[in-house]
Chain A
Amino acid sequence: MTLLEVKDITHSYGASRSFWRKQDVKPVLSGISLSIEEGTCLGLLGSSGAGKSTLGKVILGLEKPQKGQVIFQGQDVYAMDAKSRQQMRRNLQVVFQDSYSSVNPRLTAEKIIAEPLENYEKLSAGEQNRAIASLLEQVGLSSSDMKKYPREFSGGQLQRINIARALALKPKMIVLDESVSSLDMVTQTTILDLLQDLKKMHGLSYLFITHDIRAAYSISDAMAIMHKGQIAEVFHNKDEVFTSQQPAVKSLVDSMLPEHPRYRNAAAPTEAKKLFSR
């Protein structure tokens, strides 16, 4: 079943006119259409400035697009009443790249995870406490971490707390916007494994936004490549990414770094340079 459908989204920034001169309008997204099936992960790839994060915000209901529709669970995200919107917010969660700026530094881990629970569920103090402890355990932390403040955690640990918070209301879908990019490789892999387990356990869907093909490949069921505000190509079979002749896709694949020093990437990315020079 289709969980999320994005239809022909067009959006631009800088549309406001200044007194001194007419600002040029720069389209950030043009004619984007995508869909995500229930229980699957779509990897959204692209170089910086391709419009990946803007699309993520549009999907989350944070940035109203100038044209087009976002349909989540059969309802238009930008044309729903307050009650359905509240329900939508519950089912659609997000984890951003910067774990420190996503939490209030003055709240303990317990309070951070409790926030969505307090907003949506009426739990007794004991139930809530147990719920938080089990969430912390699910993401590989222990209930003894409850009273700690954000500054006492490492980036990877704090990202787990962000994931625990996103999971608290048992959502249908999580938007992961470069959620693992700033972590070191060991942490990155453990978080990717964790996400995969959680997906299986709860039947979650992900929109995994990244510029790292390797990470996207390891977690996604399907991949979409963005380039300059448009979808360059969608791959339902992710292996086809590596054989694609689409220039934007090819330049991303060609600039992948080797897994072993024997296979150094000697090719100067001339294609890439042509493609990305302004």
Chain B
Amino acid sequence: MHTQPNVLQVDNLNIAAKSSRGALPLVRNVNLELKPGKVLGLIGESGSGKTVTSMALMQLLSQRSMHVQGSIQLHGQELNGLPAQAMRNIRGKDIGFIMQNPMNAFTPVYTIGNQFVETIRTHTGLGKKQAVELAIASLESMNLEEPAKLMKKYPFQLSGGMLQRVMIAISMSLRPAVVIADEPTTALDVTNQLQVLNELDRLRTECGTAILLISHDLGVISQLADEVAVMRHGEIVEQAEVCELFDRPQHEYTKNLLQARPMLSGNEALNRLVI
């Protein structure tokens, strides 16, 4: 296990917003390692810098308003400071991204199929017919019914849960080495939530994708993560194996976070029942 090379390695990541009062630090000294087939959970309350970190990994922060310092290496290739064109080739192909709100992630005026095929053809040399086949196969693997019909639909015709699964299908269709899932299930209801998490779990076992799972929901983290990093005020205050973190939280903030969960009133019998 220890010999596995890291897919994504982040060293000393510092992010600051440029403002009239000088640089405003948002994220300080963040170090992360993603291993193939493993899920790293990133938790923290709103405003702690989780999303800004993920945006930096994708190089989506505007250089005009943000300073991004440090090293972000994908398979040993430095991403920070890479020209925009080169980064565009990596985004979507090598790093997949699943966003919180599926309704905003699609263009409303094109069909699902149109957007799916566009993504595939941008990154591969596939012909239109092959791309359609790949899209349908990916949708099928997401347990979406009647994928061929789905391809002709517009985003607003699907429910949030279905659209989120379509987004995962798109980001997984090119078998990226890394997927960044930023609150992938927050907008979904409980039944869809578990289904989406199970799909992510299946994909990382089958394709060996490394997943960075960002969430404030400890239920989501306990369901999927192997390792957890706790973020607060732009810094990682604690990082540990998931069971270890839940059983023996070290940092005061992590303890508070774990206590903040609405528990089923500590009723052990009920807990077992639910489990």
Contacts and interface: CB of A to CB of B under 8 A. Distances in A.
B243 A185 contact: no
A264 B191 contact: no
B274 interface: yes
A254 to B, nearest CB: 8
Interface in B158-174: 159-161
B273 A243 contact: yes
Interface residues of A, number: 47
A172 interface: no
Contacts of B190: 47, 211-213, 252, 255-257
A211 B143 contact: no
B189 A47 contact: yes
Nearest to A215: B262
B84 interface: no
B193 A276 contact: no
Interface string B237-255: 0000011001000000000
Nearest to B188: A48
Given A242-B270, A269-B194, A184 B222 contact: no
Contacts of A185: 45, 216-218, 257, 260-261
Given A189-B262, A265-B223, A255 B191 contact: yes
A5 B243 CA distance: 46
B107 interface: no
Chain B contact surface mostly: helix
Contacts of B198: 268-269
Interface string B115-146: 00000000000000000000000000001010
B138 to A, nearest CB: 19
A260 interface: yes
Nearest to B259: A189
A11 to B, nearest CB: 20
Interface size class of B (residues with CB under 8 A): 35 or more
Contacts of B193: 255, 257
Interface string A237-278: 001001100000001110111111111110011001101110
Given A47-B189, A257-B217, A261-B246, A189 B274 contact: no
Contacts of B83: none
B45 A186 contact: yes
Contacts of A262: 243, 246
Interface in B185-205: 186, 188-195, 197-198
A184 B50 CA distance: 13
Contacts of A253: 274
B143 A273 contact: yes
Contacts of A258: 219, 222-223, 275
16 contacts: A48-B160, A48-B161, A182-B186, A184-B46, A184-B216, A188-B262, A189-B260, A189-B262, A213-B190, A218-B265, A256-B190, A258-B223, A261-B221, A261-B222, A261-B225, A277-B145
Interface of B: 45-47, 143, 145, 159-161, 186, 188-195, 197-198, 216-223, 225, 242-243, 246, 256-257, 260-265, 267, 270-271, 273-275
Interface of A: 47-49, 154-156, 182-190, 192, 211-215, 217-218, 239, 242-243, 251-253, 255-265, 268-269, 272-273, 275-277
Given A218-B264, A257-B190, 14 more contacts: A47-B191, A48-B188, A48-B189, A184-B216, A187-B46, A217-B264, A242-B270, A256-B219, A257-B197, A257-B223, A262-B243, A263-B222, A269-B191, A269-B198
